Amino acid sequence: MKTRIVMWWLVALVAAAQAWAQPPKKANYVDPQAPCFRWPAVDMDADGVFDRIDHCVNTPVGCTVDRWGCETDSDHDGVCDGRDQCPDTPAGMKVDRNGCGLGQRSRDTGSATEAPKEVTPPPPRPARPTPPVTETERQLVERGRIRLENVYFETARAVLLPESEAALNEVGAALEKFPDLKVEIEGHTDTRGSDKYNLRLSQARAEAVRLYLVEHFQLRAENYVAHGYGETRPETREHNDEELLRNRRVELRVLNPEVLPRNVKVEEGK
């Protein structure tokens, strides 16, 4: 009888041992590499490495670990892989709790770097009104030549009179609009006096006009030349004083008209 009872207990113990060795089909903690007790296995920090081989049993939740259960930190910024939202932080950069430095955008909306606010540019300034187009500018653009009106000299001299300034200032303002122009300033006289005298006088008066323009306006002096023609290019036959006056003149001739607008007719400003 005693022998049967002992045998029964032995069978029960073997059955219990077998039942303990075979974990349930839905068991979460099974260590198939364990030499003895495979279930229930223990993983206190839930990092996927069982405590029997885990060298770092207090790994923070979410950290990536190596085979020994110790967290990794690829960019060595102090925030473990798995929780590091900026895994390529440059060495030495100061980072926040998400592993992101200044200027790096975190995926964590609670600590995301605020996007720069869109700045509305100020409205453009109103365009300055275009000054009225003068008759002088009309001649320059349409003909490539300007005949100076109301420009006066002292008698038989190349000294400009003050009343000439208004006309010369109008010419200078028009020329400034075309900085690449090359211009010949022509001096002309009537037929009174000798040819030699008239050539000298016309040259001196042309040079006086050139000097005034380059000194009072932003013009390239090397682009402006003076040439006196004397009485060789009259406009009239000098039948009266008015025709004599027409021949005594200064004109500006553009030497490189290709820099002027083409096929443009200048309309007079209002």
Domain boundaries, given as residue ranges, for the chain: 31-92, 135-259
In which element (H, E) is residue 186 found?
strand 183-188
pLDDT value of residue 184: 98
Structure tokens at 267: 């309309």
User: pLDDT by residue (tens digit) across 83-94?
Assistant: 888 888 888 788
Q: What digits encode the pLDDT tens for the residues 151-206?
A: 999 999 999 999 999 999 999 999 999 999 999 999 999 999 999 999 999 999 99
- The yes-or-no verdict on residue 269 having pLDDT over 50 is no
Q: Which amino acid type is present at position 6? A: V
- Give the pLDDT confidence score for residue 14 in this predicted structure: 56
CATH superfamily to which 135-259 belongs: OmpA-like domain (3.30.1330.60)
- How far from each other are the two terminal CA atoms of the chain, in whole angstroms? 136
All residues at 6 or more sequence positions from 136 whose CB lies less than 8 Å from its CB, including other chains? 146, 167, 170, 171, 174
